[in-house]
Structure 1
Amino acid sequence: MNSNVYTELVTVARVYQQFEESATTLLQFAVVPVLKILILCAFGLGLASSYVNILPAQCRKLLSKLVFALFLPCLIFTQLGKAVTLQSIIEWWFIPINVVLGASFGCALGYLVALIVRPPPQYFNFTVVMIGIGNIGNIPLVIIASICRDESNPFGLDPTVCNTNGVAYISFGQWVGAVIVYTFAFHMLAPPKTVPTNDEKALVIKVEGDKDVNELSNGTASNVNDTDSLHVSLLRSCQPTKLQKVRQGVARKWRWLAKSSLLKDICQPPVVSSLLALIIGATPTLKELFFEEHSVFFFFTDSLNMLGGAMVPCIMLVLGGNLIGGPGNSELGLRTTVAIVFTRLFLVPPIGLTIVQTANHLGFLPANNKLFRFVLLLQHSMPTSILAGAVASLRGHGAKEASAILFWEHILAIFSIAIWLILYINVLF
Structure 2
Amino acid sequence: MRRIRLSSIVIRGCRISVQFSRVIAQSFLSSSKEGIMGFWDLLVVASEPVVQVMLIGLVGAFLAVGSHAILSADALKHMNKVVYVVFTPSLIFASLAKTITLGDIISWWFMPVNIGLTFVIGGALGWLVVKLVKPEPHLRGLIIAVCSAANLGNLMVIVAPAICSDNSGSFGETTRCHSRALSYSSFSMALGGIYIWTHTYSLMKNSGKIRIKMLEYGDLKDDAQEKQNDMEAPLLLPSTSSAAIDGSQKLPEDDAPQNFFERAKESTLQIAEELMSPPTAGVIMGFVFGATPWLKTLIIGPSAPLRSVFDAISLMGNATIPSITIILGGNLAKGLRKSRLNLSTIIAVMIVKLILLPAMGLVVTEVAVRLGLLPKDPLFRYILLLQYTNPAAMAIGTMAELFDVAREECSVLLLWNYLLSALALTLWTSFYIWFLS
TM-score (norm 2): 0.71
Hey, what's the Cα distance between the residues in 2 that align with 1:182 and 1:269?
Answer: 12
Residues 164, 300 of structure 1: alpha-carbon distance in 2 compared, 3 angstrom cutoff? farther
Structure 2 equivalent of residue 66 of structure 1: 82
| Maintained 8 Å contact 1:135/1:386 | yes
5+ long unaligned stretches in structure 1: 1-11, 198-248
| Maintained 8 Å contact 2:119/2:149 | yes
Alignment of 1:361 with 2:370, yes or no, is yes
| Maintained 8 Å contact 2:154/2:321 | yes
| Maintained 8 Å contact 1:83/1:168 | yes
* SS at 2:152 equivalent: coil
Alignment of 1:180 with 2:199, yes or no, is yes
Hey, what's the Cα distance between the residues in 2 that align with 1:150 and 1:60?
Answer: 39
Q: Percent identity of the aligned residues?
A: 29
Structure 2 equivalent of residue 115 of structure 1: 131
Quote the offset at 1:73 in angstroms.
Answer: 1.9
Q: Which moved more, 1:145-154 or 1:302-311?
A: 145-154
Quote the offset at 1:189 in angstroms.
Answer: 5.9
Quote the offset at 1:24 in angstroms.
Answer: 2.1
Hey, what's the Cα distance between the residues in 1 that align with 2:200 and 2:392?
Answer: 11
Matches within 5 A, 1:232-381: 262-325=271-334, 327-368=336-377, 370=379, 372-381=380-389
Could you list the per-position Cα deviations for residues 350-399 of structure 1 after superposition, in whole angstroms to 9, with x for gaps in the alignment? 112222232233332332250x3333222212333333344344444433
Structure 1 equivalent of residue 226 of structure 2: none
Structure 2 equivalent of residue 216 of structure 1: none
Hey, what's the Cα distance between the residues in 1 that align with 2:369 and 2:320?
Answer: 32
Matches within 5 A, 1:96-175: 96-120=112-136, 123-144=139-160, 155=171, 156-158=173-175, 161=179, 164-174=182-192, 175=194
Hey, what's the Cα distance between the residues in 1 that align with 2:80 and 2:406?
Answer: 19
| Maintained 8 Å contact 2:94/2:314 | yes
Which residue identity does 2:431 align to in structure 1?
L
Hey, what's the Cα distance between the residues in 1 that align with 2:283 and 2:149?
Answer: 20
| Maintained 8 Å contact 2:84/2:398 | no
Q: Which moved more, 1:54-63 or 1:416-425?
A: 54-63
Structure 2 equivalent of residue 428 of structure 1: 436
Hey, what's the Cα distance between the residues in 1 that align with 2:161 and 2:72?
Answer: 28
Quote the offset at 1:63 in angstroms.
Answer: 2.8
Which residue identity does 1:61 align to in structure 2?
K
Quote the offset at 1:313 in angstroms.
Answer: 2.5
After superposition, the CA RMSD in angstroms is: 3.6
| Maintained 8 Å contact 1:98/1:376 | yes
* SS at 1:364 equivalent: coil
Quote the offset at 1:333 in angstroms.
Answer: 2.2
Tell me which structure has the larger Cα radius of gyration: 1
| Maintained 8 Å contact 1:182/1:266 | no
Hey, what's the Cα distance between the residues in 1 that align with 2:87 and 2:372?
Answer: 36
Quote the offset at 1:89 in angstroms.
Answer: 0.7
Quote the offset at 1:153 in angstroms.
Answer: 8.9
Residues 330, 256 of structure 1: alpha-carbon distance in 2 compared, 3 angstrom cutoff? closer
Hey, what's the Cα distance between the residues in 2 that align with 1:99 and 1:173?
Answer: 8
Quote the offset at 1:59 in angstroms.
Answer: 2.7
Alignment of 1:403 with 2:422, yes or no, is no
Quote the offset at 1:54 in angstroms.
Answer: 3.0
Alignment of 1:387 with 2:395, yes or no, is yes
* SS at 2:336 equivalent: coil
Hey, what's the Cα distance between the residues in 2 that align with 1:307 and 1:150?
Answer: 32
| Maintained 8 Å contact 2:331/2:407 | no
Alignment of 1:419 with 2:427, yes or no, is yes
Quote the offset at 1:105 in angstroms.
Answer: 0.8
Residues 122, 36 of structure 1: alpha-carbon distance in 2 compared, 3 angstrom cutoff? closer
Which residue identity does 1:282 align to in structure 2?
A
Quote the offset at 1:115 in angstroms.
Answer: 2.7
Could you list the per-position Cα deviations for residues 272-326 of structure 1 after superposition, in whole angstroms to 9, with x for gaps in the alignment? 1211121122122222222232122222222222222222232222222222135
Residues 65, 422 of structure 1: alpha-carbon distance in 2 compared, 3 angstrom cutoff? farther
Structure 1 equivalent of residue 227 of structure 2: none
Residues 303, 160 of structure 1: alpha-carbon distance in 2 compared, 3 angstrom cutoff? farther
Hey, what's the Cα distance between the residues in 1 that align with 2:368 and 2:408?
Answer: 38
Residues 152, 272 of structure 1: alpha-carbon distance in 2 compared, 3 angstrom cutoff? farther
Structure 1 equivalent of residue 49 of structure 2: 33
Hey, what's the Cα distance between the residues in 1 that align with 2:361 and 2:65?
Answer: 37
Match of 1:77 among 93, 105, 109: 93
* SS at 2:66 equivalent: coil
5+ long unaligned stretches in structure 2: 1-27, 218-259
Residues matched between the structures, number: 364
Hey, what's the Cα distance between the residues in 1 that align with 2:164 and 2:88?
Answer: 19
Hey, what's the Cα distance between the residues in 2 that align with 1:394 and 1:309?
Answer: 21
Hey, what's the Cα distance between the residues in 1 that align with 2:45 and 2:170?
Answer: 8
Could you list the per-position Cα deviations for residues 239-268 of structure 1 after superposition, in whole angstroms to 9, with x for gaps in the alignment? xxxxxxxxxx99x8999689x555333322
Q: Which moved more, 1:170-179 or 1:395-404?
A: 395-404
Which residue identity does 1:359 align to in structure 2?
A
* SS at 2:311 equivalent: helix
